[in-house]
Chain A
Amino acid sequence: MTDQDQGQLNRRDFLRGGSAATLMMMMGGIPLQGAESASGETHYKGETPPLNVGVIGCGTWGREILKTLSGIKFGPVVAVCDTYPAYLRRGGRLAPEAKKYADYRKLLEDDKVQGVIVATPTHQHKQVVLDALKAGKHVYCEAPLASTVDDAREIAEAAKNALEVNFQAGLQNRADKQIVNLEQFIRSGTLGKTLKCRAQYHQKTSWRRTSPNPEREKEINWRLRRSESLGLVGELGIHQVDVSNWYMRKLPKAIHGYGSLLQWQDGRDVPDNVVAVLEYPDGTFLVYESTIANSYNAIKQIFFGSNCAILMRDRRAWMFKEADAPLLGWEVYAKRDTFYTETGVVLGAGSTKQAEREKVGASAGVIDPTSALQYSLQNFLINSYNHGAAVADFKQMFEGADRDALADYLKDLAKNRLPAAGYREGYQATVSVIKANEAVLGNKRIDLDETLFRI
């Protein structure tokens, strides 16, 4: 929190007679620290125990993960892996202490590695994940989990049955504090009657990677081949489709898709201009648009309801009220931003209807410096460590206890988990976009049976 925020809290706290308990709750995990003083202050900071990580896949996203991990003290990278020597070298530079492996199986044999992050191309996740789970490693598998429903199901089932390790899907929004809090805010009924969601991902980029080696160039452009790629809706859209499924609390019952290749006609067969409508069982729907030929308005997501619309953009959110919607008390004090003809109430980080009622001002205009990816990786590290510790302590203290007893113990601990996408969320989001991509490629409507999503 900035000094400005602290000042604001003091004033508002004083004005509202706010309780210290609320402040504590709102501030959540702020390290309790201060200088040692005669007043009896203690300076415990609390240290998160480390989890040794191996990163498999040092492409663009793998390197983004490595960069993020280098800033997380409790996520030391002890191993990196890539089949391509140049990428392995680049990955190694981002994790100088890590051992370099060209073969992921050798990495899995490394006892130092406790958790692995799988950031290979989507269609190559499966074998790596299955082997990693078998090797007793905690697994973070990037989203989409796989490029076919069967592969995704195999991964999800293996994760479900791997009792002794933690599995997380790379749906980082599920760990992002803002997005988690916003979900609770919307769940409290703010929208009124939920109508629809609109999401878009616009970015002008060719998606084509280059390499001096033609064979390598073919390999790294898997995104441009429909035989391997889930296209825009799969590779880009999965995060927004997942947020829609999550906030609407539904899974699609039918998907209409349409796509065309208009700008990047370089021999690829993956459309660069797509739209999909995901129908939910209660009459609500998601309209998803994506193109890599235009950047206007970039990435945004809007939820529409009879009381208001909520816009999410650039890790910030605004609420646009309907004239006849009921007033939420705290709105009176909230900051507003104007967009052309619309004025939106800023929804600050950490705001929930509950907290607002008791009251502290939304930290308006402050963008959380911690990225969604960082939250996601942090929560993976902490959840994995806690899971591993629970299993180890249980086995050590209860010799010969059966698997069911361990499962019960872990189930009880699950309530302490930090927010993160598990195998179920990963599977359901992956299947949603696999089917959406199918609809787009076929320019058609596909009906989805709910058994498809059951795992």
Chain B
Amino acid sequence: MKRNTMKILLGGLAGAALIVAEALPLQAADTVRYMARPGSKVTISGTSTIHDWDVVGRIIGGSFEVEPAFQTDKSLKSVKSLLTKETNPKAQVVIPIRSLKSGNQKMDEIMQEAMRAKKNPMIRFKLKWMVLKGEVPAAGTPVKFEVNGDLSVSGVTKNVTLPVVMERLPDGKIKFKGQTKLKMTDFGITPPSPKIPGMSLIKTGDEVTIKYEWLLAPRRKA
């Protein structure tokens, strides 16, 4: 090959290498970010003196940020933020109250009023710490964690601790699932107790069970 051509070629290759190098996902921050995806589900179940009830929502927004090793190290032994309370992943969860449906428009409106949804339209959770519980199975899934964070509902924030299970799904997605019991009154919500004419006072139970499945996918880098 002629020298000039060689130079051009090498120059070209170097240039190409530079371009390729720049296109590689640069882990600028030391984290991988998972974004909420459709396919999630949250159910809030309660009781009353008449019958049990549920509301269901399919929007759970937010994100989960953790060391990149989380994606590759199935055993999680190198993912410090999940092993200790000293360093922690970042996670925030948002659920629009108006996305929760009971199947009855009026009941939805009453729930929104009881939860003061006009002023506080979102249920929010901000992660404080997340720690692995027990051993990670060989397959890498499912994994049990203990999770702590601040839950804000109706303008009231409470710190809660709850068990959460993570599942690794094909194509890199992850799912967090679990359920927890909460009291409406802990968040300043008065359980609806309507008086229907001809009947005794109906009381809605204070305790509700929140069951959730939160689907996330890693954010694709440019």
Cβ contact of A416, chosen from B59, B62, B103, cutoff 8 A: B103
CA separation between A69 and B35, bound complex, in Å?
42
Query: Which of A236-244, A268-276, A407-415 forms contacts with chain B?
Result: A407-415
Q: How far is the CB of B31 from chain A (nearest CB, A)?
A: 18
A86 at the interface (CB under 8 A from B): no
Interface contact A32-B110, CB-CB below 8 Å: yes
CA separation between A6 and B202, bound complex, in Å?
17
A339 at the interface (CB under 8 A from B): no
Interface contact B198-A13, CB-CB below 8 Å: yes
Closest 4 CB pairs of A and B: A397-B61, A46-B109, A32-B194, A34-B195
Interface contact A42-B192, CB-CB below 8 Å: yes
| B101: chain A residues within 8 A (beta carbon) | 413, 416
Interface contact B59-A27, CB-CB below 8 Å: no
CA separation between A389 and B96, bound complex, in Å?
10
Best-surrounded residue of A9, A42, A386 (most CB of chain B within 10 A)? A42
Interface contact A40-B194, CB-CB below 8 Å: no
| A398-B61 contact given A24-B196, A44-B194, CB 8 Å threshold | yes
Per-residue B-contact encoding for A394-405, CB less than 8 Å = 1, 0 else: 101111010001
Q: Given contacts A34-B195, A394-B38, list 14 more A-B pairs with CB under 8 A.
A: A21-B51, A30-B106, A30-B196, A32-B106, A32-B192, A40-B201, A44-B194, A45-B113, A46-B113, A389-B99, A396-B61, A397-B36, A401-B38, A412-B58
Interface contact A44-B110, CB-CB below 8 Å: yes
Cβ contact of A10, chosen from B61, B198, B203, cutoff 8 A: B198
Listed by A's residue number, 22 A-B pairs whose Cβ atoms lie within 8 Å are A9-B197, A13-B198, A20-B50, A21-B50, A28-B106, A32-B106, A32-B194, A33-B194, A34-B194, A40-B193, A40-B201, A42-B190, A42-B194, A45-B113, A46-B109, A46-B110, A382-B105, A389-B99, A390-B99, A393-B59, A397-B60, A398-B38
| B196: chain A residues within 8 A (beta carbon) | 20, 23-24, 27, 30, 32
State which residues 42-59 of B face A: CB under 8 Å: 50-51, 58-59
Interface contact B113-A397, CB-CB below 8 Å: no
A47 at the interface (CB under 8 A from B): yes
Q: How far is the CB of B220 from chain A (nearest CB, A)?
A: 9
Per-residue B-contact encoding for A24-39, CB less than 8 Å = 1, 0 else: 1001111111100001
Which of chain B's residues has its CB closest to A43's CB?
A: B194
B199 at the interface (CB under 8 A from A): yes
| B202: chain A residues within 8 A (beta carbon) | 20
| B62: chain A residues within 8 A (beta carbon) | 397
B80 at the interface (CB under 8 A from A): no
| B123: chain A residues within 8 A (beta carbon) | none
Which of chain A's residues has its CB closest to B215's CB?
A: A398
| A24-B50 contact given A42-B114, A396-B61, CB 8 Å threshold | yes
Interface size class of B (residues with CB under 8 A): 35 or more
Cβ contact of A408, chosen from B37, B38, B105, cutoff 8 A: B38
| B191: chain A residues within 8 A (beta carbon) | 42
State which residues 412-452 of A face B: CB under 8 Å: 412-413, 415-416, 418
A41 at the interface (CB under 8 A from B): yes
Interface contact A399-B99, CB-CB below 8 Å: no
B83 at the interface (CB under 8 A from A): no
Interface contact A40-B203, CB-CB below 8 Å: yes
CA separation between A447 and B45, bound complex, in Å?
54
Per-residue A-contact encoding for B73-102, CB less than 8 Å = 1, 0 else: 000000000000000000000101011010
Which of chain A's residues has its CB closest to B109's CB?
A: A46
Which of chain B's residues has its CB closest to A46's CB?
A: B109
Interface size class of A (residues with CB under 8 A): 35 or more
Interface contact A46-B106, CB-CB below 8 Å: yes
Which of chain A's residues has its CB closest to B101's CB?
A: A416
Interface contact A23-B199, CB-CB below 8 Å: yes
A48 at the interface (CB under 8 A from B): yes
CA separation between A44 and B201, bound complex, in Å?
14
Which of chain B's residues has its CB closest to A401's CB?
A: B38
Q: How far is the CB of A296 from chain B (nearest CB, A)?
A: 40
B104 at the interface (CB under 8 A from A): yes
Best-surrounded residue of B108, B113, B198 (most CB of chain A within 10 A)? B198
Interface contact A398-B37, CB-CB below 8 Å: yes
| B113: chain A residues within 8 A (beta carbon) | 44-47
Cβ contact of B96, chosen from A10, A397, A408, cutoff 8 A: A397
State which residues 101-145 of B face A: CB under 8 Å: 101, 103-110, 112-114
| A32: chain B residues within 8 A (beta carbon) | 106, 110, 192, 194, 196
| A20-B194 contact given A45-B113, A401-B38, A416-B105, CB 8 Å threshold | no
Cβ contact of A29, chosen from B37, B59, B105, B194, cutoff 8 A: B105
Interface contact A405-B99, CB-CB below 8 Å: no
CA separation between A28 and B103, bound complex, in Å?
11
| B107: chain A residues within 8 A (beta carbon) | 46
Interface contact A418-B105, CB-CB below 8 Å: yes
State which residues 10-61 of B face A: CB under 8 Å: 35-39, 50-51, 58-61
CA separation between A405 and B38, bound complex, in Å?
7
Q: How far is the CB of A267 from chain B (nearest CB, A)?
A: 50
Q: How far is the CB of A82 from chain B (nearest CB, A)?
A: 32
Q: How far is the CB of B77 from chain A (nearest CB, A)?
A: 32
Interface contact A9-B198, CB-CB below 8 Å: yes
CA separation between A111 and B65, bound complex, in Å?
37
Best-surrounded residue of B101, B190, B195 (most CB of chain A within 10 A)? B195
| A382: chain B residues within 8 A (beta carbon) | 105
Cβ contact of A409, chosen from B35, B36, B58, B106, cutoff 8 A: B58
Which of chain A's residues has its CB closest to B121's CB?
A: A393
